[in-house]
Structure 1
């Protein structure tokens, strides 16, 4: 199930069920205690955006950018 379809309660249940599989228990405990609620919101929001982007065609991903932004990005790719 995509993360952007989950309710906050379902996300909490997911983390409780699979968190120690995704991260070692010690690291998960550290993450849970050092991340504020706002940090977790940002983390899951970013995950949701990345998950949504993977379903877009390249031209759909670029639709919001100006020609100059795309050209600048291409120049940096050619340099690197």
Structure 2
């Protein structure tokens, strides 16, 4: 579900800290709640990957935001 996390990062990229914390906490909770994973050490890896994928979306959002700002000033 990498695209879901990237999309979340793109949509919530303005509030990047909250989106990264939400991914780190929410994704493992979702995996446990749906029965995909059990509580264990593997959830830490899932949280790291969730933050990395959401971070990619945040970078896309922030890059587009900076590009639009630079176009407006020129």
Fold shared per TM-score above 0.5? no
For Structure 1 versus Structure 2, the TM-score category normalised by the shorter chain is 0.3 to 0.5
Q: As a proportion of its length, which structure holds more helix?
A: 2
Give the TM-score normalised by the residue count of structure 1.
Answer: 0.35
Larger radius of gyration: 1
Q: Which has the higher contact order (CA 8 A, sep 6+)?
A: 2
